[in-house]
Structure 1
Amino acid sequence: MIVRIMGEGQVKLADSHFTELNKLDDELLEEMESGDESGFRRTLHALLDKVRELGEPLPDDALEPSELILPAPDATLDEVRAMLSDDGLIPG
């Protein structure tokens, strides 16, 4: 799956990693619902770091369609809330 981190670029990520990423996504959703700004910030960075760690960066000139778009590391709680689906940022 091709994942875009807004403001950074794209990575190719194996589907096998989504179980691990969904755990962080669930934490992020809980922190957003409770208004835990510091927990939200910490978990968002952990989620993005994990995507960077597990994913293979695509070249800057690659024009692959992104199947999943994640917020920039400095996104606000309201910006991320606007990107959410019922499943959080990561479907599944």
Structure 2
Amino acid sequence: MQLFQRFDLQNRTIPSGLELNVSDRGRHPATIRSWCYQCQELRKIRYTYIDAGEASQIFNSVIYPNHCYDLPLLGIDFLSFGKIKNLIGLDFQ
């Protein structure tokens, strides 16, 4: 909540059907959920979380700065596959 107040985050519309999905394909059913926000400094902040239980969990985020700033996009990925493999990626574009 403190983050929302500090940056005056506002909800941003997510296309219908992409906010929450459940997939029963494959061996492990997965729940896919996305959130999207914006504020004066950041024109778009998108989070997506995929939860397939102990088999895999994935968090992905892309942060788009306002056009008035000369800053790259920031991509963040946290991937966990079972209790064995974890991968973290940060990407500036």
Could you tell me the TM-score, scaled by structure 2's length? 0.21
Give the greater-gyration-radius structure (CA): 2
Greater per-residue strand proportion:
2
Greater per-residue helix proportion:
1
